Structure 1
């Protein structure tokens, strides 16, 4: 497959309808990244505006303008739905100027689209307006910048991600510690059970009878009785 590298010549040809580059103009970056539009528009509304912008650039090349020289486009809801792979209902809500229940009107509220006229039930003519550059967004006129709010959100997300990862690691360590404790306890119980099972059986020892100790009483001493024997007189013959 042949590789198509982006070169300065290719970029120069992007605005030429005579060159087969596949692109006429890019949607202004301020729509996706600017402070005025980035949070105000949904991703679906940005995609619809991008498609209408490209159609407007093609209409400009064809010279499709009104009596005042303003470019307009004629497009059906069904075409936008097929091009963006969304439902026709979603396209109708975002392009009828009234939205649905007061919602989906941001493209009109921000002055990015105006209805020229309704041609028929499914097709309308629109004026696609250029975005407004004000405040920080003025930098997009000469450069594709990263606004301070995007930087802050990206930094906050990184910090949150780092905190979440640290908390997740702590939870994993705690779960591992609990698991090890359970395993150690189970192993100890198995070892204790095996030790008890391997011990020989012994008869229960007979308990020695315990008697109350009596005080020692010294026995009485025996008395010596002396008996006097009368002397016998000897007889002389």
Structure 2
């Protein structure tokens, strides 16, 4: 299937919203083996957000970021675009607000997951979601990647479809989630508001194990691409 559906089939009554309260499993910055102490998980998530917010505003990194996001999730670890998208300046800037005394390693996959929410905040954080998102035609996946989409990771399509559906169902609440700081009261409020759209958008028989990081990533990618499509004038 080359398009992302607008809605799921039927609500899944067994949705466990509590899974959204699970702590983030890994930030963009993982500690090396000889780390003296662990940074709090909340700090790791916030530091990741600050890093990507910095990264998407660096003009000389935009081409590398664009190329990295056209690669399949997981491919950036060994790609030239993934290496080129690293910003030591943004790493240093994101560490200034945290009492972290250890050297940190870089996770391409976590950075890719955080890039779309950062791009959304950069381009739509102040203006809010464009009108008409719910009425958009299904987006075409094959235009978004440089490889045959038949070989996309198995979990990509269902997570992307969920993010697409939730974004269409509740663009304002989605905006609130993506612009809230991780593990803040504003994020808790946005997650609560999205519980019904999430239940509606889960296809019958599908099961997802979600935490805050994976939900923000899935919704962030879908919402950013939908917002771009809604903002682009039709020919």
Larger helix proportion, structure 1 or 2?
A: 2
| Structure with more contact order per residue of length (Cα contacts < 8 Å, sep ≥ 6) | 2
Same fold (TM over 0.5): no
Q: TM-score, normalised by structure 1?
A: 0.26
Q: Say which one has the larger Rg.
A: 1
Larger strand proportion, structure 1 or 2?
A: 1
